[in-house]
Amino acid sequence: MPGVEALAGNDRAARATVNVDHGDGAGARAFIVGLGHRALDRRFSGMWVLLALIGIFSALKPQYFPTRVTVMTILGNEAVIGILAIAAMVPLLTGLVDLSIAGVAGFAVVFSAWLSTMVSLNPVVLCTVVLLAAAGFGLVSGTLVTRLGINSIVTTLGVSTVALGLAESFAGGNTITPEFSRRFFKFGQSHLSVVPLPFIYFAVLAVIAYVVLEQMPVGRRLQATGSNAVASRLAGVPVQRLRLLALLAAAVISGFAGLVLVTQVGTASDATGPGLLLPVLSTVFLGATQVKPRPNIVGTAVALLVLGTGIKGIELLGAKPWINDFFYGCMLLVAVALAASDVGRLE
């Protein structure tokens, strides 16, 4: 069926090419051509974009861009966004949109700082309390979506606003200086060679998420739920329970992101959360066009580095303040356009 072949894209054609062996060296050529097709597949375009950005900015600013400081600051700046992107991705796999991740992270920032000023707690205990509070938001979202059948966008938007309101309440309009121990501040401010610890947290979380979501049965069930919830339920997949757990996991990961951020920045403001949503969504949706045609960990990591490198390069070139939001917005539009064109090809 030629139509199906065409719709399958370059990948199947490349494999078909690889399998042909005329026994006269053409097999090797075919293999290389196949690799080339695979490499030029749009699903791996992020890799090329990243290399191109590195090349361009290194050429434009050779003294400033390809430096240790640039690597450290990109990885440090993108770490929290990466953690939140993983949080956003989990419900997306089940077909839900969670817009409360930034609000919950912002709440965690303020709540942890406020708690530290009110009572002297061991950092482990403080983190546990904050993560439990964050989980509360996930439980509310999950219950409203799965039990009452409310749309996830509406629900999580409401939860986000509640989280913001609570953050404002705890902050009281002030910027709080948390009274963490020096060792706890190092949790967010230390480095391992050139890699900031927050990025290592993201990397570890990404590996765990990859194993769970891509290699384990629960991940398959999550994907099946997102692909076709009705068919999955009929096949015996506990759709509602998985969706509840997905929203719960997203909230806990968001709370963790907030803890990383407050130790990284050293102050807490109730205005922190909302500003994180656009970069996170841009990362997740751009990542969904990479490697696999759905939200995935590797694609998200690629997108994170592409966006972080792009923003950093633009800053070093001395761009105007509006460029940052413009860049994130454009990348989000590009991601959505790519995804839409994939759907169009499929149809």
Partner 1 sequence: MVLAAAWCCLAAACSSSSSSHIASSAVSATAQGAPTSQAAPSSTTVGPQVPDSEAPTALPISTPLSARPPAGKNVVFLNSGVTPGQLLSKGLGEAASALHWNYTSVPINQANPATLISAFQSAVQTGANVIVLQATASAEYAQLLPAAQAKGVLVIDQASSNSPMPGITALIDNGAQNGAQWGQALAGETLADAHGTTVHAAVVTAPIFGTISDAVSSGYKGALVQQCAQCTSDTIPIPAGDIFTGQDAKDIVSYLQVHRDTNYVVFISSLLNVGTRAALNSAGFNSAKLLINDALDSDVVALQNGQVTALLDQPLEVDGWMCIDAAARAMTGGDASAYNTRPEPTWLITQSTHLTGSSLPEVPFDYQQQFKSMWKVTA
Give residues in contact with partner 1 (CB under 8 A): 47, 50, 54, 58, 61, 63-64, 66-73, 75-77, 168, 172-177, 185, 189, 191, 194-196, 203, 206-207, 261, 264-267, 269, 271-272, 275-276, 278, 298, 301-302, 305, 309, 312, 315-316, 318, 320-322, 324-325
CB of 201 to partner 1, least distance (A): 14
CB of 327 to partner 1, least distance (A): 11
Alpha-carbon span 184 to 280, nearest angstrom: 25
Closer to partner 1 by Cβ: residue 73 or 240? 73
Within 8 A by CB and 6+ apart from 47, the residues are 302
Length of the chain in residues, anyone? 347
CB of 47 to partner 1, least distance (A): 6
Closer to partner 1 by Cβ: residue 179 or 342? 179
Closer to partner 1 by Cβ: residue 246 or 277? 277
Closer to partner 1 by Cβ: residue 7 or 208? 208
CB of 1 to partner 1, least distance (A): 36
Q: Is 53 exposed, middle or buried (0-12, 13-18, 19+ CB in 10 A)?
A: buried
Closer to partner 1 by Cβ: residue 165 or 238? 165
Within 8 A by CB and 6+ apart from 134, the residues are 104, 107, 108, 251, 252, 254, 255, 256, 258
Alpha-carbon span 76 to 297, nearest angstrom: 19
Closer to partner 1 by Cβ: residue 22 or 68? 68
Closer to partner 1 by Cβ: residue 140 or 297? 297
CB of 84 to partner 1, least distance (A): 12
CA distance to 24, 76, 211, 310, per residue, from 64 (Å): 50, 17, 37, 14
CB of 79 to partner 1, least distance (A): 11
CB of 332 to partner 1, least distance (A): 14
Which phi and psi (to 5°) does residue 268 adopt?
Answer: -135, 130
CB of 154 to partner 1, least distance (A): 20
CB of 340 to partner 1, least distance (A): 26
Closer to partner 1 by Cβ: residue 321 or 344? 321
Closer to partner 1 by Cβ: residue 225 or 296? 296
